[in-house]
Amino acid sequence: MTLKKVLTALAAAVALAVPGTAAADVVTDWNKTLVDALLAAPPGPPPSTRIGAIVQTSVFDAVNGIRGRYEQFRPDLLTTSPPRGASAPAAAAGAAYTALVALLPTQKARFDAQLAETLAALSDDQGGTSTAVARGLEWGTAVANAILAWRAGDFSTPVPDWEPLPLPLWQPTPPQFISPPVYRIFGLMTTWSMPSQSAFLPGPPPAFSTARYAQDFNEVKAIGTLATTPDLADEAATARFWAGRFDTPVTMFNRVAESLAATRDVPLVDNARFFALLNVSIADAAIAVYNAKNFYNAWRPVTAIQYADIDGNDATIADPSWLPLLTTPAHQEYPSGHSGLSTAAATVLAAFFGENTTFTVTSDALISGGTRTYSSFSEAIDEIALARVAAGIHFRFACETAQQMGEGVADYATANEMLVRKGDH
């Protein structure tokens, strides 16, 4: 449908809408729509990071193009300026709508309904004249289309052919024994902020001969087993909480961001920058993590424990029948994706709200789902590391390394992207 047809249809919807309380923040409203759509799809953890970043950078550049407080995220993509008098809230809605329809087209009805709701609220008292709203939508659509065109080249680097690896490198894991490892392409994806895919490449995991390897091996073997016991009930519940059915770090931490954003009264452009930095950091963390996974091709605990007799460490004992509490993801072990992405998110949140902020996380896990409340971001990140070990799918060193990577990625984005324009303080 052309923009003109969309505007015509939505104008009719606005005319029929019953005036009510205007939305407090269009950016947050559309972030919730993004999260709901990701849960309804669901595209998987790495693809979710790409969708989140496309949507929120489109929203930011649309709003900031009108407000002009910060440097644009991608000033090179558009050579035109926003129409005179364009509504910034309408631009946010137009950008989010356009990006989401392009990325998740089967959910267009959901996005149509949200756009109609947004425009009904703007027609009340926030968006100015109908001309301002139409111009804002037009500008937001143009910005989103420019971001989408740029990201269409995300996967232009060919993925090398996969050759099966010998032990003690990564092997397909039960029960599906999928090969090659999934999401390899994300290690080659065009970055968002960081200089290159390998900019935050960590050193190698501990050598098999080291005490640290034996320590972490025996930890996951003891607490991450499918043959769990009552004394491990808390660890098992934690593992399941952070392994939702459809939830990912993107959906879980964007919900946290929504709840915290509601506690502060800031201009729309500031909120747009917040959500853009959050999602860009998560997306770059995914690229960095999968780049490292591809580089090291480390075996998973289920393989390491079953074949420990070949690792050369007398402190590790093989158990050919050992299985993890939760199904092992079908990609390499080192470093941990969940820990890296979650730490990137937590680092941005801490930069905006302070490390010792109390917040609640919601999980859609079939078992042990619900909510958990934390008194600091580091508390939640440490629990995620425990969750991945207790699930039997990661060594602790993989989680701690990923935490360092996620923090570095987020710090880099915060220091280099969407900065306040000179003279605007």
Amino acid letter, residue 143: V
Contact 333, 298 (CB under 8 A): yes
Confirm whether 162 is domain-assigned: no
Same domain, 196 and 50: no
CATH number at residue 35: 1.20.144.10
Q: Domain of residue 392: give its range.
A: 184-416
**Residue 14 — pLDDT band, cuts 50, 70, 90?**
very low
Percent of the chain past pLDDT 70, that is, above it, reads 92
**What local confidence, expressed as pLDDT, does residue 27 receive?**
98
Confirm whether 75 is domain-assigned: yes
CATH number at residue 360: 1.10.606.20
**What local confidence, expressed as pLDDT, does residue 396 receive?**
98
Distance CA 249, CA 44 (A): 10
The string of pLDDT tens digits covering residues 262-304 is 999 999 999 999 999 999 999 999 999 999 999 999 999 999 9
Same domain, 66 and 136: yes
Rounded to the nearest integer, the mean pLDDT of the chain is 93
Distance CA 77, CA 402 (A): 32
What is the mean predicted confidence (pLDDT) over 192-210? 98
Of 19-23, 191-195, 375-379, the range with the lowest mean pLDDT is 19-23
- How many domains are contained in the chain? 2
Confirm whether 157 is domain-assigned: no
The string of pLDDT tens digits covering residues 123-157 is 765 445 799 999 999 999 999 999 999 999 999 88
How many helices (H) and strands (E) are present in the chain, helices listed first? 14, 2
What is the mean predicted confidence (pLDDT) over 196-214? 98
Same domain, 364 and 246: yes
Distance CA 109, CA 113 (A): 6
Confirm whether 156 is domain-assigned: no
**Residue 393 — pLDDT band, cuts 50, 70, 90?**
very high
The answer to whether residue 329 scores a pLDDT higher than 70 is yes
Distance CA 397, CA 405 (A): 12
Same domain, 271 and 396: yes
Same domain, 120 and 192: no
**Residue 84 — pLDDT band, cuts 50, 70, 90?**
very high
What does the angle CA 290 – CA 291 – CA 292 come to, to the nearest 5 degrees? Answer: 90
The reported pTM is 0.94
**What local confidence, expressed as pLDDT, does residue 123 receive?**
77
Same domain, 92 and 190: no
Where does residue 233 rank: exposed (0-12), middle (13-18), buried (19+ CB within 10 A)?
Answer: exposed
